Structure 1
Amino acid sequence: MQEIGILGAGLIGASWATFFAAQGLKVRIFDVDDTVKQQAWEQSVRNLQRLADLELLTREDAATAEGKLKVAASLAELLTDIEYVQESVIEDYAIKADVYRQFEQHAPERAILASSSSGLLMTRMQAVMQHPERALIAHPFNPPHLIPLVELVPGEQTAVETMETVKAFFLGLGKHPVVLNKEVPGHIANRLAAAVWRESLALLDAGVASVEDIDAALCQGPGLRWALMGQHLIYELGGGAGGYQKFIDTIGASFEAYWEDMECWSSIPESAKQKAVSGTQDYLNQKSPGEWAAWRDEKLARIQQILHEEP
């Protein structure tokens, strides 16, 4: 797959365009809003320049990648002879259905349609398609051009061959694909994030600590380990010579007490919303949103460089 279509050119679409172009692939960008698709091209160019600043690309490779970005004038132009489309339109089943019907009107039958959806179910989205076997979820973590995770989720009618092809495709591009055996709302990463977020809000709402200290407790502790390994392996090591079994048998009871004391909200209380918004502003104002994003990207780049060092 040498030519990629970006369908939906918001924040995620522009980041995807950056990633694919940086990998040497030709990229066509389309959005129903002409202003949005032009802004996506401009953002992708800035992202490529930033990757060079961060020494993740050479200046020459960034310039070459910039030349591979093209804005498509129409959906038909985007999809003509295309091999792979990364769809990142609004998270709405009705809008997705309309887009998927149009995709099948213009795209070759061999073309793969991958959705960036962060929580919708592919089974429901592909139900409108004549060739649903070529559609799947390929959900990135923001920003896709810096974070390697991509969650691959089949629908009930997705072909095994499609899953294998896309997994191999992303592995070849340096991504880290994880494959779900079954659909669940939110996939894996966002469900884990949702659990942490709910408890973060609950701690704030109960007055246990400030927004800044709750965030620090995450990024200065568990977050450092999470950059290297997941919770299962962390607790395998935490069990010492007895491994995971010993950890569960000896420390698991403490966690049961934590779980009993934790909130089980299915909606966010108004008090927690207000405290989260106001509390975040207190330390967000230390930098502008653009400065925070630049700081984040620099740190992510350095972490990626460390993780990819030869042992």
Structure 2
Amino acid sequence: MAIDRDYLRRQGAVGIVGLGTIGQRWAAAFRHAGLDVRAYDPDPSRAAAFDAAFPALLADVEALHGPAPALGAFVFSGDLGAALAGVTFVQENGPERLDLKQALLAEIERHVDDDVVIASSSSALIVSEMQRACARPGRIVLGHPFNPAHLMPLVEIVGGAATAPETVATARAFYEAIGRKPVVLNREVTGHLALRLMGAMWREAIALVRDGVASVEDIDRAFVYGPGPKWTLQGSFISNHLNADGIDAFLVKYGPTYQAIWDDLGDAMLDRETIATVSSSLRDTLGARSDDDLRAERDRGLVKILKAVSEDGAL
């Protein structure tokens, strides 16, 4: 997860459109990498909110990547054209509504040069649909971060039907230069990669709670102290490859077991009764702990885990 400052020195300023939770964390990561940030948000109070949050966000990033030799500058404007003047890359973080994304992306491209890549942080929308109103849809791409976006290395990249291959390559090189671990999807699917994987596991977790098999605490504990550490370091395929004499042997030996599990998996529906059951079990797990304390513990722990993954991870 090393930051390529030589590459970044050749880049111009980065544009941030939308300075909410995700935009602020992108801005912190970009500034730590030495990139000047030019930000836009229709809500002028977001600038002060970022100024207040930045010291803590920067401390998190420095704990993971080390102190920045020089921070990038930060400029905020409530005028989109003024904010994006001269930028060489745009990270869009607008609301997760297709009509708004279409209008926003079309407006962004009117204020940047023709060769500027515009990456959307959308978590679930399809790029082919988002880029339809754009005059130059070839430079629109997904650049979806994982929460908390200033720390998590994953960025999911996927182009739409009209996205040029060089746009995807440029986006990948850019995210790698700021120390991220990008993945490129060969085609569009709802939810991209990570959310689909999480969704599959979480559907079963919710079904197990709903059906009274185990509590929220014990289900999460089973993952955290079971596959979690190994999958964090090596992923599921390499981990299972090492659980036998290679992946072929693993699939032959344990295939019937997994097939039996797959045939028996639950099909969770988020009806009111299920939501109430999950919420009650989670409240029992949390006890008196506050969300702020849990977030702080999470972010401190993430730094330690990600350092270990950087040193000993297989991917």
Common fold by TM > 0.5: yes
Cα distance in 2 for residues equivalent to 1:76 and 1:275:
49
Cα distance in 2 for residues equivalent to 1:110 and 1:177:
21
Query: Paired residue for 1:15, among 25, 31, 34?
Result: 25
The corresponding residue for 2:162 is 157
Deviation at 1:148, TM superposition (A): 0.7
The corresponding residue for 1:293 is 295
The corresponding residue for 2:108 is 103
Cα distance in 2 for residues equivalent to 1:285 and 1:110:
52
The corresponding residue for 1:5 is 15
| AA in 1 matched with 2:248 | Q
Q: Please, which moves more after superposition, 157-166 or 184-193?
A: 157-166
Query: Paired residue for 1:217, among 222, 228, 231?
Result: 222
Maintained 8 Å contact 1:8/1:30: yes
Alignment of structure 1 residues 80-99 onto 2, 5 Å: 80-99=85-104
Gaps of 5+ in 2: 1-10
Q: Deviations over 1:224-278 (max 9, x none)?
A: 1121112111221122x2x11111111111111111111234x413222111122
Residue 168 and residue 51 in structure 1: after superposition, are their counterparts in 2 closer, same or farther (change >3 A)?
A: closer
Residue 223 and residue 157 in structure 1: after superposition, are their counterparts in 2 closer, same or farther (change >3 A)?
A: same
Query: Paired residue for 2:199, among 194, 200, 216?
Result: 194
Deviation at 1:55, TM superposition (A): 6.1
Cα distance in 2 for residues equivalent to 1:167 and 1:230:
21
The corresponding residue for 1:235 is 240
Deviation at 1:310, TM superposition (A): 7.5
Q: Deviations over 1:35-72 (max 9, x none)?
A: 234313432332113444x36433xx38x42x622222
Say what the alpha-carbon RMSD is for the aligned residues.
1.8
Residue 257 and residue 137 in structure 1: after superposition, are their counterparts in 2 closer, same or farther (change >3 A)?
A: same
The corresponding residue for 2:37 is 27
Q: Deviations over 1:112-169 (max 9, x none)?
A: 1100111111000011101001110011111121111111101011111111111111
Cα distance in 2 for residues equivalent to 1:277 and 1:29:
37
Cα distance in 1 for residues equivalent to 2:12 and 2:109:
20
Moved over 4 A (4+): none
Gaps of 5+ in 1: none
The corresponding residue for 1:252 is 255
Answering whether residue 66 of structure 2 is matched by residue 57 of structure 1, we say: yes
* Identity in percent: 36
Maintained 8 Å contact 1:41/1:71: no
Q: Deviations over 1:195-240 (max 9, x none)?
A: 111111000001111111111111111111121112111221122x
| AA in 1 matched with 2:306 | Q
Secondary structure at 1:70 match in 2: strand
Secondary structure at 1:128 match in 2: coil
| AA in 1 matched with 2:174 | F
TM-score by length of 1: 0.92
Maintained 8 Å contact 1:122/1:137: yes
Q: Please, which moves more after superposition, 43-52 or 149-158?
A: 43-52
The corresponding residue for 1:184 is 189
Secondary structure at 1:308 match in 2: helix
The corresponding residue for 1:114 is 119
Cα distance in 2 for residues equivalent to 1:250 and 1:310:
28
Residue 119 and residue 102 in structure 1: after superposition, are their counterparts in 2 closer, same or farther (change >3 A)?
A: same
Query: Paired residue for 1:264, among 263, 267, 285?
Result: 267
The corresponding residue for 1:72 is 77
Maintained 8 Å contact 2:146/2:152: yes
Residue 310 and residue 278 in structure 1: after superposition, are their counterparts in 2 closer, same or farther (change >3 A)?
A: closer
Secondary structure at 1:290 match in 2: helix
Maintained 8 Å contact 1:29/1:69: yes
Cα distance in 2 for residues equivalent to 1:183 and 1:71:
33
Cα distance in 1 for residues equivalent to 2:117 and 2:288:
44
Number of matched pairs: 303
Residue 285 and residue 78 in structure 1: after superposition, are their counterparts in 2 closer, same or farther (change >3 A)?
A: farther
| AA in 2 matched with 1:229 | Q
TM-score by length of 2: 0.91
Cα distance in 2 for residues equivalent to 1:225 and 1:87:
34
Identify which of structures 1 and 2 has the higher relative contact order when contacts are C-alpha pairs closer than 8 Å and 6+ apart.
2
